[in-house]
Structure 1
Amino acid sequence: MQPDVTADLNELDATLTTIEKVMDPEAMADRVRELEAQASDPTLWDDPEHAQQVTSKLSHMQAELRKVGELRQRLEDLPVMYQLAEEEDESTDLVDEERRDLRADIEAYEVKTMLSGEYDAREAVINIRSAAGGVDAADWAEMLMRMYTRWAEKAGHKVDIYDISYAEEAGIKSATFVVHGDYTYGTLSVEQGTHRLVRISPFDNQGRRQTSFAEVEVLPVVETTDHIDIPDNEIRVDVYRSSGPGGQSVNTTDSAVRLTHEPTGIVVTCQNEKSQIQNKASAMRVLQAKLLERKRQEERAELDALKGDGSNSWGNQMRSYVLHPYQMVKDLRTNFEVNDPSKVLDGEIDGFLESGIRWRMAEQQKES
């Protein structure tokens, strides 16, 4: 093998070895055996919610263990593939391509080892709100919602939409939805902030360029261990009829629910479930997630005050999407950019997610 190929394989081996130390495949295998024993217990489904958690965790850990093993096997196969190509006096183009693909897969998996925050392994609640920009901003908010749901679809994650508030002319005022799947919160949390769109407005008869903004909030799904207790007397419950685009009624009963947490003024709505009880339960989960995030921000502010750091290192405006006069999507924190906005808006955001997670880890290391 060429010296540069050998050096590259050694570098990949070092990275994968670090990943294996963090993931600990032997401990994962032990945990899989424990979960398999629980899953085979005939009384497991006496508690469906617990059974779902066990089978979901088992499936996830089996997939992770398989993924690490596959990466190691592919790496071990590469020297043999190079040797065979040299012995047969054949081109190494296909082997080089496999090495490049393996590097991309190892680097992408390395990012997963950076998701070690307290809530990173959880599912994600995403809130999108249109901001400055009028009808263009409402349209932009809907475009962002599609971007995230397309990303989830491609990644194999189920999405449950809790609430959509449609704008009068086009687009949405706001939307709340859950992206299911392990580590979706840790992965998508770097998307929080203001997203800016520059384009020729399709709603402007004179074809002028318009800048519009939308806010993205990402929260971890609350679990029973979080102890977010909300006294009933702190919540005002309003019910109303669900509605679709343009105010069209989609429900003949008052099944939609609006919860107002009076001490904080936080308002949550849910109208996409079939019954008022289901909508209230979904809205309560989102309210708990918002209160959990509020608690985390207060604790972070206290730590920053103790450190004498009043700045917000996470920033607010975090990404620009430019469709005119040139084509580019650029992350303002990491400087990662893509010159094909159509692909990004169709859900191909993994590069932004990876660079954002690496940036966040670097920022956290600076603060520690």
Structure 2
Amino acid sequence: MIEFYNKLIENYYIKKKFIKKKIIDYKSFLLNCEYLINNLNIKFNNLNCFVEIISNQGGIDTHDLNKFFLNFYYKWLLKNKFNVEIINLEQSPYGYKKSLLLINNFFSFFLFKNESGLHRIIRKNPLISSKKIQTSYLNLNIVPKIINNVNFINKNDLIIENYRSKGSGGQHVNTTNSAIRIVHKPTNIVVTSQSERSQMLNKKFAMQTLEYKLLLKNNLFVKENINKFKNNKKYIKTYYFENNEIINHVEKQKINLNDYFNLNIDFIKI
């Protein structure tokens, strides 16, 4: 009989602990909902966005890091069921000088805007034999897709040319005129796309890249947003690869680097 009551007491405490955890999880969920609702009406927060990664100081190591960060963001977005496209890559033998993503999801600008600015990376350079520790920098531009400018760009302002792809890319390279070059005559902006086998897809990505560049050029809010951290000479995050640590300077947090890049923790709240 005593054993029976002991078992009842044990089950009671197990259930109490379980319920307490569920209450904490529920409160956390409600706080996140409140956080999102409070930001729904703030200008641009509910929009899709462009994410541009630009190699900054650090030489060829930044090209390798650009590719590394692009793959990280892309995998995280797919894992969390975002609709994402890689629309432009400026390649180098070591990775990318620039890369551009388009995230077509409600509220994506709000979720990503705190990534905008300068990211500092301290690690052993894998591209040199000495594996010397060096500091490299990437700029991230997070730009709201304010309107669908593709539908409003005057086709008479464009010169659209097709040409044969250059560099690696499969059997289609140098066999079909699938690559696209677009010149926007009023601004002299030139964009190209040759990453896809399909000329139609390359044209789509080139037009989206042109839309992004016109947003950067013509929209005052966008200019102020992407220069916000640069003007204050702040870092968004510092990545210490040798110490397995990330410092988030915006949130004032320390993060485990391996967990972060292995997608075991989220870099933004959802």
TM-score band, normalised by the shorter chain? 0.7 to 0.9
Cα distance between partner residues in 1 of 2:25 and 2:250: 27
Q: Which residue of 2 aligns with 1:353?
A: 268
Cα distance between partner residues in 2 of 1:177 and 1:231: 24
Cα distance between partner residues in 2 of 1:154 and 1:90: 36
Q: Does 1:275 align with 2:198?
A: yes
Whichever residue aligns with residue 333 of structure 1, its letter is V
- Contact residue 118 and residue 138 of structure 2 kept, 8 A: yes
1:286 deviation in Å? Answer: 2.8
- Contact residue 228 and residue 292 of structure 1 kept, 8 A: no
Q: Determine helix, strand or coil for the equivalent of 1:337.
A: strand
Alignment of 1:87-166 (within 5 A): 89-91=12-14, 92-113=16-37, 114-166=39-91
Q: Determine helix, strand or coil for the equivalent of 1:268.
A: strand
Q: Which residue of 1 aligns with 2:218?
A: 295
- Contact residue 48 and residue 107 of structure 2 kept, 8 A: yes
Q: Which residue of 2 aligns with 1:332?
A: 249
**Measured at CA, do residues 167 and 93 of structure 1 come closer, stay the same or move farther in structure 2, by a change above 3 Å?**
same
Q: Which residue of 2 aligns with 1:304?
A: none
Cα distance between partner residues in 2 of 1:173 and 1:136: 10
Cα distance between partner residues in 1 of 2:53 and 2:151: 23
More off after superposition, 149-158 vs 122-131: 122-131
Which deviations, in whole Å up to 9, do the C-alpha atoms of 1:128-157 show, x marking residues without a partner? 222221221111101111111121122111
Whichever residue aligns with residue 44 of structure 2, its letter is Y
Q: Which residue of 2 aligns with 1:206?
A: 130
2:257 corresponds to which of 331, 341, 345: 341
Whichever residue aligns with residue 101 of structure 2, its letter is F
Alignment of 1:153-302 (within 5 A): 153-168=78-93, 170-221=94-145, 223-224=147-148, 229-232=152-155, 234-243=157-166, 250-251=172-173, 252-261=175-184, 263-264=186-187, 266-297=189-220
Which deviations, in whole Å up to 9, do the C-alpha atoms of 1:297-319 show, x marking residues without a partner? 26876xxxxxxxxx946756321
Which deviations, in whole Å up to 9, do the C-alpha atoms of 1:168-199 show, x marking residues without a partner? 1x222222222232212221122122222111
Between structures 1 and 2, the one with greater helix share: 1
Cα distance between partner residues in 1 of 2:51 and 2:209: 9
Q: Does 1:319 align with 2:237?
A: yes
**Measured at CA, do residues 123 and 349 of structure 1 come closer, stay the same or move farther in structure 2, by a change above 3 Å?**
farther
Between structures 1 and 2, the one with greater strand share: 2
- The gaps in structure 2 that reach 5 residues or longer are 1-7
**Measured at CA, do residues 322 and 261 of structure 1 come closer, stay the same or move farther in structure 2, by a change above 3 Å?**
farther
Cα distance between partner residues in 2 of 1:144 and 1:299: 22
1:323 deviation in Å? Answer: 0.7
Whichever residue aligns with residue 328 of structure 1, its letter is E
Cα distance between partner residues in 2 of 1:173 and 1:345: 21
1:162 deviation in Å? Answer: 1.9
Cα distance between partner residues in 1 of 2:211 and 2:192: 13
Whichever residue aligns with residue 330 of structure 1, its letter is I
Cα distance between partner residues in 1 of 2:197 and 2:146: 22
Q: Determine helix, strand or coil for the equivalent of 2:268.
A: helix
Identical positions, percent: 24
Alignment root-mean-square deviation, CA: 3.4
Moved over 6 A (4+): none
Which deviations, in whole Å up to 9, do the C-alpha atoms of 1:35-90 show, x marking residues without a partner? xxxxxxxxxxxxxxxxxxxxxxxxxxxxxxxxxxxxxxxxxxxxxxxxxx99x743
- The gaps in structure 1 that reach 5 residues or longer are 1-84, 302-310, 358-368
Q: Determine helix, strand or coil for the equivalent of 1:150.
A: helix
Q: Determine helix, strand or coil for the equivalent of 1:163.
A: strand
Whichever residue aligns with residue 240 of structure 2, its letter is V
Q: Determine helix, strand or coil for the equivalent of 2:219.
A: helix
Q: Determine helix, strand or coil for the equivalent of 1:353.
A: coil
Q: TM-score, normalized by length of structure 1?
A: 0.59
Q: Which residue of 2 aligns with 1:51?
A: none
Whichever residue aligns with residue 142 of structure 1, its letter is K
Higher relative contact order (CA 8 A, sep 6+): 2
